[in-house]
Amino acid sequence: MTLRIGNASGFYGDRFDAMREMLTGGGLDVLTGDYLAELTMLILGRDRLKDPAAGYARTFLRQLEECLGLAHERGVRIVANAGGLNPAGLAARVRELADRLGLPVRVAHVEGDDLTASHPGGLAAHAYLGGFGIAACLRAGADVVVTGRVTDASLVTGPAAAHFGWRPDDWDRLAGATVAGHLLECGAQVTGGNYAFFADHALDRLRHPGFPLAELHDDGSAVVTKHPGTGGVVDTGTVTAQLLYETGGARYAGPDVTTRLDTVRLRQDGPDRVRVDGVRGEAPPPTLKVGVNRLGGFRNEVTFVLTGLDIERKAELVRRQLDDTLRAARRAPAEVRWDLVRTDRPDADTEETASALLRLVVRDRDPEAVGRALSGAAVELALAGYPGFHVLAPPGKGAPYGVFEAAHVPQDSVTHTAVLHDGRRLTVPPAPRARALADVPAPDLPPPLPDGPVRRAPLGLVAGARSGDKGGSANVGVWARTDDAWRWLAHELTADRFRELIPEARTLPVTRHALPALRALNFVVEGILGEGVAAQHRFDPQAKALGEWLRARHLDIPEALL
């Protein structure tokens, strides 16, 4: 018996029409939507400050306005974490919508994740719950289940547990569903979006990738695919890329199960079909992760355009001028950061390509320190600075920024609650057993390639990569497409070589995890994102392109691979 679970959202702001596309494109049993991320929780927290009745993903309601009748007609259940900080409020709004549309839709929700009251100073603090609250709602007959902060994979493990009758200690089955959920959670990223080897495919095929679905089986295995006739591509490469996204070592911890990523087997099972099986699971850790978002202060920025000759000296002049003014201000910013980006080139035939960008970012807990002080100082240089002075945009008043940190609490300290469609409240117990998380022993690697001629070339000619953020850290998953390329990659791309290729990481802890079954390496770079995405610590604050930068770096690559 197969359970077909689709995805219609990978983030708050994803393709609005995806819900309709998934409901009309082919058969489904359950349609999920992932609307939450670390940054989203901060955004919703700020919404809730303005309106206590807010705090959920408004676009989800607008999508249901168009699609709830269609889902009801086709017998598709909807499970989404769009409840954000206010799942009860969203569930009430969905009921109102169903009544207005004249649809006999049963709506349930999951709560208990909100721990803000126990984290003083936090704007939003939420535990990552598992899938058994969702399962309880579905078993009781819910047609729509909305949640707050559950793990992304729980949107799949919950429906699978309800459908197949899995027990909380069915570790291997739950681990298989966790992998399927992780593959679906980012929507079109597994169907060809953001794919390192996109150039292997016709661009028309990638213009409008279809959203993914998984055909789950009772043993936890699955086939990842998409509706017939939709754009994009599903192959072992796109699946490997998403499997490595925002993960770490071989043990992938969750509230219901710890999934052994080193046991995952991928096999092409036909056009746009990848079979995922062999996944083993273990008891989860005794604690739940808690994402804590708080306001970190205020930031402001200005980007100076430096054109033509003497770029470095122009940058030094404006730095000295601004530093003097900011130091003399009544309230100098606590943090001042300058970055010179050499986008200029010699003898350029356009002014834009003759110009470099000098970016100044200031941060402080006092909005005055990053507001008038900076905007006044920058504008006053207009006729007193370097030749050709201008900026991309004048600095404004400054804006608040958030910071993210991860905490952990005992599983049994959180009251995970399923609120059924008829109003009954069921407490969902924690996992029946727990196992402390530990690294797996280093796996055996294949022998290195024999010596031979090499050529200086980009790493991306022989390896794919995908990167992302986890709080202040980033992960970069790198994989090879052939056995010989893996033999070279496994020995060449050490943690030290990674630091050499990514200078920002040279002083940071970098941990390498090898996953031979996937011909992959996963690097975790601690602290490269500062206090998280909302703090905008670096040019690419979520490390989305860090993997592509790595692929563009040059190494001595065996000619046999090229």
* Domains contained in the chain, number: 3
DSSP category for residue 485: H
Q: What angle do CA 441, 446, 452 make, to 5 degrees?
A: 140
**Does residue 446 lie in a domain region?**
no
Strand duo 355-364 + 280-282: pairing: unpaired
Q: Are residues 368 and 269 in the same domain?
A: no
Question: What is the distance in angstroms between the CA of the first residue and the CA of the last residue of the chain?
Answer: 45
Query: How far apart are the C-alpha atoms of 405 and 52, rounded to whole Å?
Result: 24
Q: Are residues 251 and 398 in the same domain?
A: no
On the question of pLDDT at 149 being above 90, the answer is yes
Domain boundary among 343, 371, 403: 403
On the question of pLDDT at 190 being above 90, the answer is yes
Instruction: Dump the DSSP string for 32-52.
Output: EE----HHHHHHHHHHHHH-T
Q: Are residues 175 and 136 in the same domain?
A: yes
Taking residue 284's Cβ as centre, other Cβ atoms within 10 Å add up to: 25
On the question of pLDDT at 167 being above 80, the answer is yes
Query: How far apart are the C-alpha atoms of 81 and 40, rounded to whole Å?
Result: 12
Residues of the chain above pLDDT 70, percent: 100
Tell me which residue has tokens 């320190």.
369
CATH number of the domain bearing residue 308: 3.30.70
Q: Are residues 25 and 129 in the same domain?
A: yes
At 69, phi and psi to the nearest 5? -65, -40
> What tokens were used for 69?
């009748």
On the question of pLDDT at 145 being above 80, the answer is yes
**Does residue 230 lie in a domain region?**
yes
Segment 74-93, tens digit of pLDDT: 999 999 999 999 999 999 99
Question: pLDDT band at residue 67, thresholds of 50, 70 and 90?
Answer: very high
Closest CA to 542 of 40, 18, 14: 40
Mean of pLDDT values over 357-369: 92
Roughly what angle, to the nearest 10 degrees, separates helices 132-139 and 154-164? 40
Q: Are residues 392 and 422 in the same domain?
A: no
Query: How far apart are the C-alpha atoms of 181 and 541, rounded to whole Å?
Result: 25
Q: Between these two residues, 535 and 149, which has the higher pLDDT value?
A: 149
The answer to whether 114 and 122 have CB atoms below 8 angstroms apart is no
**Residues forming beta bridges with residue 275, ordered by sequence position:** 223, 267
**Residues forming beta bridges with residue 267, ordered by sequence position:** 275
**Does residue 447 lie in a domain region?**
no
Taking residue 334's Cβ as centre, other Cβ atoms within 10 Å add up to: 13
> What tokens were used for 101?
């549309």
Q: Are residues 341 and 398 in the same domain?
A: yes
Query: How far apart are the C-alpha atoms of 66 and 519, rounded to whole Å?
Result: 43
On the question of pLDDT at 46 being above 90, the answer is no
Domain boundary among 388, 403, 418: 403
The count of residues in the chain is 562
**Does residue 448 lie in a domain region?**
no
Instruction: Give 536's contacts (C-beta < 8 A, 6+ positions apart).
Output: 299, 361, 401
Helix (H, G, I), strand (E, B) or coil at 532: coil
Q: Are residues 330 and 228 in the same domain?
A: no
Helix (H, G, I), strand (E, B) or coil at 282: strand
**Does residue 235 lie in a domain region?**
yes
pLDDT of residue 327: 81
Closest CA to 132 of 186, 79, 71, 75: 79
Q: Are residues 398 and 410 in the same domain?
A: no
**CA dihedral over 140, 142, 148, 154, signed as positive or negative:** positive
Question: pLDDT band at residue 395, thresholds of 50, 70 and 90?
Answer: confident
**Does residue 449 lie in a domain region?**
no
Instruction: Give 552's contacts (C-beta < 8 A, 6+ positions apart).
Output: 458, 459, 460
Query: How far apart are the C-alpha atoms of 424 and 418, rounded to whole Å?
Result: 8
Q: Are residues 276 and 305 in the same domain?
A: no
Q: Which domain does 190 fall in, by range?
A: 3-291+406-427
**Does residue 244 lie in a domain region?**
yes
Question: pLDDT band at residue 530, thresholds of 50, 70 and 90?
Answer: confident
> What tokens were used for 369?
């320190």
Mean pLDDT is lowest, of 273-282, 312-321, 390-399, for: 390-399
pLDDT of residue 541: 87
pLDDT of residue 330: 72
CA atoms within 13 A on the CB side of 446: 20
Burial of 368 (0-12, 13-18, 19+ CB in 10 A): middle
Q: Are residues 196 and 159 in the same domain?
A: yes
**Does residue 24 lie in a domain region?**
yes
The answer to whether 145 and 63 have CB atoms below 8 angstroms apart is no
Query: How far apart are the C-alpha atoms of 408 and 241, rounded to whole Å?
Result: 28
Q: Are residues 283 and 305 in the same domain?
A: no
> What tokens were used for 239?
């699946």
Q: Are residues 300 and 208 in the same domain?
A: no
Domain boundary among 403, 437, 466: 403
